[in-house]
Chain A
Amino acid sequence: MNCRSQVLEVSVEGRQVDEAMLALLHTILLHRSTGKFHYKKEGTYSIGTVGIQDIDCDFIDFTFVRLSSDELDRAIRKAVGEFKDALRSSGNDGAGQISLEFYQKKKSRWPFSDECIPWEVWSIKVNVVNLANEQERQICREKVGEKLGEKVINIVEVINRHEYLPKMPTQSEVDNVFDTSLKDVQPYLYKISFQITDSLGTSVSTTMRRLIKDTLAL
């Protein structure tokens, strides 16, 4: 609960799914990443640079900016690819939701494992539409582009608000806040998960976890 959540909704054609998702996820991550931190002995740090690059979409009239980090791009593409496959296998006009969750780790003492506490969740609800002919596709191409542009503005507005962000960590804690595994950029710790609509609802594992937690709670 103790996290902000934003919901974006898009309806796209089947072949546009991965580009639209990439555009939105990359836009969010662009604003939620920093350069690599270089810590110095006095407990200060300097921030490295990040590169950005424009990406043109093939199936949408849209260009978006992303961090020029191939590793990050690969990771996101993988997640989006899985999402797309799941969406496709679920049926023709599926609907699903992909969510990007920023979290921070909290060290716990021995009997418990580290907690991952989300502080911001972006859920993108996707509606896949089927189009009959080429003309409609053309219109859709432009429309989706416009829509995505609005969403990007939306995202930037949300991110511009002065709201809670994890505090800048000291060297020992940097892994609790940032994902330091990438060599060129350093996004906040994030997790991408997705749900396909007919499997919406709690999965077995979460139910089990809750059950155990509940029985343990006072």
Chain B
Amino acid sequence: MAHFDTEYQRLEVSYNDSPPGEEDMLVHVPEGSKSLWHHIENLDLFFQRVYNLHQKNGFTCMLLGEIFELVQLVFVVAFTVFLANCVDYDILFANKMVNHTHHLHESIKVTLPDAFLPANVCSARIRNNVVVIFIMVIAGVFWLHRLIKFIYNICCYWEIRSFYINALKISMADLPYFTWQEVQARIIEIQKEHQMCIHKKELTELDIYHRILRFKNYMVAMVNKSLLPIRYRLPMLGDVIFYTRGLKYNFELIFFWGPGSLFENEWSLKPEYKRGGNRLELADKLSARILWIGIANFLLCPIILIWQILYAFFSYTEVIKREPGSLGARCWSLYGRCYLRHFNELDHELMSRLSKGYKASSKYMNCFMSPLLTVVAKNVAFFAGSILAVLISLTIYDEDVLAVEHVLTTITLLGVCITICRSFIPDKHMVFCPEQLLKVILAHIHYMPDHWQGNAHRYETRDEFSQLFQYKAVFILEELLSPVITPFILIFCLRRKSLEIIDFFRNFTVEVVGVGDTCSFAQMDVRQHGHPAWMSAGKTEASIYQQAEDGKTELSLMHFAITNPRWQPPRESTHFISQLKEKVQREAANCQQGMAEKHLFSSIQSIQSESEPHSLIANLLVGPPSLTSFQYAQEGHGAHHSSHIGSSDVASALRSLSPLSTSQHLRGSFSSTLAKGEGTPLITARGLAGSTTDTRTASSGSSAWEGQLTSMVLSEYASNEMSIHAVYMHELHKQQVRTEPARHVWHRQDSDDSSESAPEDSEANRTLPRSATFPFPGALSRQEGSTAPMVGQRRYGCTPDGASGTSRPGSRMSRLPMGGWTEDVQAGRHHDTVPEEGSDDEQPPQIHKVYKSVGYI
């Protein structure tokens, strides 16, 4: 028997066979949901609240503000009721003597409490007055609604507050020091850890903007495409824009969140609206809804009107008394805010650039003094002034004059009268350069119709500008009229547009993963919505219906890329931006060779010509534009603006910046500039802006304090960079338009307007200086030449049916592209062409009627 001696042997038992229990199982450690912030259900609301809390400077401010609003409401109602019922005006006006028994012998002094009715009389009066009780009940219901809303909001915002503190690590006290860009950067940072949005590992800036501005982007796009009925041609007044808060509220109610609106919830359009199949039915449904909402508005009109009047009275009377000039002051109209807004521009960004443009704008408006009015005003002021002077000197001599009836009233009225007159009298020492002023305005507001340029001195331009920049008094008046007019606009104007609206939402809605349904314009895709006359020629594939007007896509893209330097645009957009920057660089190079009349130069000039520099850059820009530009190579950005900066200013700017700069480039460039000192008085602004962009990107790595301050300073640079780009792009556009028969439209008329007012328009053509390329129906009908088809096609909803018989709705609609709904492309396209080929038989008669009325009226 062979003995095998193998190496294999039984192992000694070195472990205890554990009883079949739990020890041998895999043991896991739960991560637990330590963060409250993963997987947030409604990210739209969440981001909106985060933004709101940031804008309102923290929780406490917001709480106080809301509480005071509630208190104010109670006060307005209570005070009004009190004034109406509990005051004995006879005593107040001293028509009746106060009958104090024990005061019989003394001279009687009327005190305020004497004028009040006793409580029981007062309450009896209120109880007997049905109207007052009715109003009070309604006010009470309204107030309760506000109160519940307030409590709900407080609870929600408390959560946001703890989000700021625990997740973003920003205490409420520090919040005002953070720019939104920083808050946003932190949100993007913590998404990696908390997964607020579960679709993506990382959020982008654009995602957050899309969510906050989802509906605003739609509104901007609709105004841009002249879809909303806010522009009217009235017999006496001419072109009028009527767009009030009440109207806006109703639009939003109808489209976005009201019962039965187009949107299912905050983030998705209802599926039936995405399909082209039954657009006529949907349009019918929409117009019925608009009718109902219009009627509801009409019924509620008295209540809203009373409220508006009371509110206006209490909030403005005091201001008017204190500074009567404020009524003559101007403000950016609601329409202006919509027209001037970029896609994806947050409220504070818009407001800050509009405010920067305010001074120049009011100056521009003041250029237009009617000489006739001035003469009248001068004389009225003279007479009023002399009476006032006499009254005042009499008062100074003996103040008993004031006790004479109506003397105080007269003095006050005369004062107001003189102030008003004075606003019509131009300052003797002012010199106005409207053309330059307009350019400065453009640098801030970024949008302007073409035909304004070169016509800045005309009254027509002024009138059109005043639609964007209206008198405060007009604003208040419009708000007061709004409750009465709104129902009519809804019922008679908006209802006709229901088909266009349905088409708009279908064509211009795209579903973005992780964001939901957004307006496709807001994607700022040059390829899809670019306008060939705005530098995206060759890149854009958009049909005329798809092109955003006024270069909105291009300018919005630039704006967004500049304000969010860390954002990675899609390929086409990157291409567009880099191409533009290249162009800037080329021209900058030319500029250095002494070609001062280049666009860039004028863009510099425009910024310089502002007499009161608005910010750091403007301060820097006052240096003489001459000689050479200091350039330094910078990877990534080859582009340089040739904006020139005085050396001393540079030095001071550098001093404020250099300790903060984290980018080596920046430091290097600064030190070299400093070294050159007085010898080299110039630096390229683009270089500065470019490097600041770097710094902004780099600053996230640095300590919080440094990052904060840098970002504050740099966001200012960003806005100036954008200003320069805006002016530059407009210059380029102007040049491009000159070379080709472009089709820029100031207000695209809606279909009914243009057809009704075609003769008026052609009349206007003779008097109005419009840009040669400004197409309108009158011109169209006369020339009917080569441009006519193009224009007709472009202005998809506005072809005057009289002028060209081809304005069949079908032919128009067949141009409509199918937005992002690829699945629907076939069906939709088929559908869209249907009306042309005798869909009349297929459509039920009543639908057909609506269709026709939309098309032809």
Report the minimum CB–CB distance from B585 to chain A (whole Å). Answer: 43
Report the minimum CB–CB distance from A44 to chain B (whole Å). Answer: 5
Q: Please name all residues of chain B whose beta carbon is closer than 8 Å to the beta carbon of A112 when the two chains form the complex.
A: 155
1/0 contact string of B76-116 vs chain A (CB within 8 Å): 00000000000000000000000000000000000000000
Q: Please name all residues of chain A whose beta carbon is closer than 8 Å to the beta carbon of B666 when the two chains form the complex.
A: none
1/0 contact string of A161-197 vs chain B (CB within 8 Å): 0011011111101001100000000000000000000
- Write the chain A residue with the least CB distance to B157: A218
Residue A9, interface by CB 8 Å: no
Taking a contact as CB atoms under 8 Å apart, the answer to whether B516 and A169 are in contact is: no
Taking a contact as CB atoms under 8 Å apart, the answer to whether A167 and B33 are in contact is: yes
Residue A214, interface by CB 8 Å: yes
Taking a contact as CB atoms under 8 Å apart, the answer to whether A167 and B26 are in contact is: no
Which of the residues A40, A170, A202 comes within 8 Å of B32, measured between beta carbons?
A170
Residue A38, interface by CB 8 Å: yes
Residue B11, interface by CB 8 Å: no
Q: Compute how far the CA of A44 lies from the CA of B199 in the bound complex, rounded to whole angstroms.
A: 29
Residue B393, interface by CB 8 Å: no
Residue A139, interface by CB 8 Å: no
- Supposing A115-B41, A211-B259, A218-B149 touch, asked if A4 and B199 sit within 8 A by C-beta, the answer is yes
Report the minimum CB–CB distance from A176 to chain B (whole Å). Answer: 8
Q: Compute how far the CA of A214 lies from the CA of B263 in the bound complex, rounded to whole angstroms.
A: 12
Which of the residues B22, B36, B257 comes within 8 Å of A38, measured between beta carbons?
B22
Interface set, chain A 1-46, CB cutoff 8 A to B = 1-4, 38, 40, 43-46
Residue B404, interface by CB 8 Å: no
Q: Please name all residues of chain A whose beta carbon is closer than 8 Å to the beta carbon of B123 when the two chains form the complex.
A: none
1/0 contact string of B816-829 vs chain A (CB within 8 Å): 00000000000000
Q: Please name all residues of chain B whose beta carbon is closer than 8 Å to the beta carbon of A111 when the two chains form the complex.
A: 151-152, 155
Q: Please name all residues of chain A whose beta carbon is closer than 8 Å to the beta carbon of B32 when the two chains form the complex.
A: 167-170, 173
Stretch from B265-273, B669-677, B764-772 that touches the partner: B265-273
Q: Compute how far the CA of A2 lies from the CA of B43 in the bound complex, rounded to whole angstroms.
A: 7
Q: How large is the interface on B (under 10, 10 to 19, 20 to 34, 35 or more residues)?
A: 35 or more
Taking a contact as CB atoms under 8 Å apart, the answer to whether A46 and B25 are in contact is: yes
Q: Compute how far the CA of A217 lies from the CA of B258 in the bound complex, rounded to whole angstroms.
A: 12
Residue A117, interface by CB 8 Å: yes
Report the minimum CB–CB distance from B289 to chain A (whole Å). Answer: 13
Taking a contact as CB atoms under 8 Å apart, the answer to whether B39 and A119 are in contact is: yes
Which of the residues B26, B199, B258 comes within 8 Å of A46, measured between beta carbons?
B26
Q: Compute how far the CA of A112 lies from the CA of B22 in the bound complex, rounded to whole angstroms.
A: 40
Q: Compute how far the CA of A211 lies from the CA of B26 in the bound complex, rounded to whole angstroms.
A: 49
Residue A99, interface by CB 8 Å: no
Q: Please name all residues of chain A whose beta carbon is closer than 8 Å to the beta carbon of B30 when the two chains form the complex.
A: 43-45, 167-171
Which of the residues A46, A104, A215 comes within 8 Å of B145, measured between beta carbons?
A215
Taking a contact as CB atoms under 8 Å apart, the answer to whether A117 and B145 are in contact is: no
- Write the chain B residue with the least CB distance to A218: B153
Q: Please name all residues of chain A whose beta carbon is closer than 8 Å to the beta carbon of B151 when the two chains form the complex.
A: 111
Residue B40, interface by CB 8 Å: yes
Q: Compute how far the CA of A173 lies from the CA of B25 in the bound complex, rounded to whole angstroms.
A: 22
Residue B148, interface by CB 8 Å: yes
Q: Please name all residues of chain B whose beta carbon is closer than 8 Å to the beta carbon of A106 when the two chains form the complex.
A: 36, 41
Taking a contact as CB atoms under 8 Å apart, the answer to whether A215 and B149 are in contact is: yes
Q: Compute how far the CA of A173 lies from the CA of B30 in the bound complex, rounded to whole angstroms.
A: 10
For the complex, count residues of A whose C-beta is within 8 A of B: 40
Q: Please name all residues of chain A whose beta carbon is closer than 8 Å to the beta carbon of B13 when the two chains form the complex.
A: none
Residue B747, interface by CB 8 Å: no
Taking a contact as CB atoms under 8 Å apart, the answer to whether A44 and B516 are in contact is: no
- Supposing A2-B198, A47-B26 touch, asked if A217 and B31 sit within 8 A by C-beta, the answer is no
Which of the residues B28, B38, B39, B155 comes within 8 Å of A109, measured between beta carbons?
B155
1/0 contact string of A63-97 vs chain B (CB within 8 Å): 00000000000000000000000000000000000
Which of the residues A2, A46, A166, A201 comes within 8 Å of B197, measured between beta carbons?
A2
Residue A132, interface by CB 8 Å: no
Report the minimum CB–CB distance from A43 to chain B (whole Å). Answer: 7
Taking a contact as CB atoms under 8 Å apart, the answer to whether B31 and A207 are in contact is: no
Residue B27, interface by CB 8 Å: yes
Taking a contact as CB atoms under 8 Å apart, the answer to whether A169 and B42 are in contact is: no
- Supposing A46-B22, A119-B39, A215-B145 touch, asked if A1 and B33 sit within 8 A by C-beta, the answer is no
Q: Please name all residues of chain B whose beta carbon is closer than 8 Å to the beta carbon of A169 when the two chains form the complex.
A: 30, 32-33
Report the minimum CB–CB distance from B512 to chain A (whole Å). Answer: 11
Q: Compute how far the CA of A183 lies from the CA of B39 in the bound complex, rounded to whole angstroms.
A: 28
Taking a contact as CB atoms under 8 Å apart, the answer to whether B41 and A167 are in contact is: no
Residue B712, interface by CB 8 Å: no
1/0 contact string of B1-39 vs chain A (CB within 8 Å): 000000000000000000000100111111111001011
Interface set, chain B 129-148, CB cutoff 8 A to A = 145, 148
Q: Please name all residues of chain B whose beta carbon is closer than 8 Å to the beta carbon of A4 when the two chains form the complex.
A: 198-199
Residue B264, interface by CB 8 Å: yes
Q: Compute how far the CA of A216 lies from the CA of B155 in the bound complex, rounded to whole angstroms.
A: 12
Report the minimum CB–CB distance from A121 to chain B (whole Å). Answer: 12
- Supposing A44-B29, A173-B32 touch, asked if A166 and B39 sit within 8 A by C-beta, the answer is yes
Report the minimum CB–CB distance from B146 to chain A (whole Å). Answer: 11
Which of the residues A46, A115, A177 comes within 8 Å of B27, measured between beta carbons?
A46
Taking a contact as CB atoms under 8 Å apart, the answer to whether A168 and B31 are in contact is: yes
Other A-B contacts than A4-B199, A111-B152, 5 sampled, CB-CB below 8 A, are A43-B29, A119-B198, A167-B33, A168-B32, A177-B33
- Chain A residues within CB distance 8 Å of chain B: 1-4, 38, 40, 43-47, 104, 106, 109, 111-112, 115, 117, 119, 163-164, 166-171, 173, 176-177, 201-202, 207, 210-211, 214-218
- Chain B residues within CB distance 8 Å of chain A: 22, 25-33, 36, 38-45, 49, 52, 145, 148-149, 151-153, 155, 195-199, 257-260, 264-268, 272, 516
A-B CB contact pairs (8 Å), 21 listed:
A1-B265, A1-B267, A2-B41, A2-B42, A43-B30, A111-B152, A119-B198, A164-B195, A164-B198, A166-B33, A167-B30, A167-B31, A167-B32, A167-B38, A169-B32, A173-B32, A173-B33, A210-B259, A215-B149, A216-B149, A218-B52
Which 3 pairs from chain A and chain B are nearest by CB? A164-B198, A1-B267, A46-B25
